Homo-oligomer: A and B are copies of this chain.
């Protein structure tokens, strides 16, 4: 069978990280590894009420095939919500997707030929690396600073690619409380990025699953809000704001781009489930989504605070050790002294019943061996404290062993 595989399939390996994640699911382990939201934030009572209503009263629409663009009622409700954040959009600029990951896949499907170049943050979201690999793109990583992607380096790489005769197509970013680093892209850089996209004739994918989960500081306008010529493709996900089990999101882009993507979504799955779109529409229509987000933010802020405090308390003092202080989202990014190998640390941590993701997974170039990603979203504050206590102890031992 192997000789029948496409070139694309031959290039994709089974994710080692996901294999390692399975090991972290043993009982008794405090796992900061997965990026799952806390199920206690899901709108249980509301969904139970709506689901019944949608099935009984709206089954002719909600359980039938829908259009490839998506349920107009759901899309309009999302538009109304985004308009309150200062992002005016029309129906033909918004389509439904099976969460943001499908939006990302469809963008690749529409824009990438093998060998085309995609620029992403170093480190970046694992699912994006896998999507670009599946479309046989060349991936170029751009280092991030405290306020996001280094745009000087980006321009250098763009020039080099042009000189080498390569076709640069996409810049991919998670602008808010990035997965995995927790870092947020600054306002000045957002404007500048749009100028770069215009100058070099390429598109920006703004993947924003965490932007509405800001626990402190002022919101920064989306990259898309600076977009004059339809070069920004914004992915919105409801996986963290409602629940992941619906697999629901939208893609906002120019009507022209949406038209192209709809043409290729059609043979991909015909349409996003009418049922999940109906459920989300009726939620947005009948309940107070903003109040819900406020409530979720309080829950996650407490978890973030617990993790940051515990890191201060339980990790050893070392001049080369530091971590990000994310203003929102799910993730804290820890940099260890360069002489620590996070893979070795991972094994020892597992023995101490605490788990994280090794940072290398999020790099394209094998770097980040002394980094790790911690998610505070899933565990309760007291469990977070205990987990970080264990992790701190493991790190302390690793440092002592190296020094000794």
* Interface set of A (CB-CB < 8 Å, partner B): 1, 3-9, 12-15, 18, 36-37, 39, 42, 44, 47-48, 51-52, 55-56, 59-60, 62-66, 98-99, 101-102, 104-105, 109-113, 116, 127, 130-131, 133-134, 169, 201-203, 230, 239, 243-247, 254, 256-257, 259-260, 263-264, 266-276, 278
Contact = CB atoms under 8 A, between A and B. Distances in A.
B134 A63 contact: no
Nearest to A9: B110
Given A269-B105, A275-B276, A111 B264 contact: no
A273 B276 contact: yes
Contact of A8 (B109, B169, B203): B109
Contacts of A14: 259, 263
A13 B260 CA distance: 9
A246 B267 CA distance: 17
Contact of A63 (B245, B256, B275, B278): B245
B112 A6 contact: yes
State how many copies of this chain the complex holds: 2
Contacts of A111: 4-6, 9
B264 A98 contact: no
Contacts of A4: 111, 169, 201-203
A131 B63 CA distance: 24
21 contacts: A4-B201, A5-B111, A6-B110, A8-B110, A8-B113, A12-B263, A12-B264, A14-B259, A15-B266, A18-B266, A39-B64, A47-B55, A62-B245, A64-B244, A99-B269, A101-B270, A105-B267, A127-B270, A131-B268, A134-B268, A245-B275
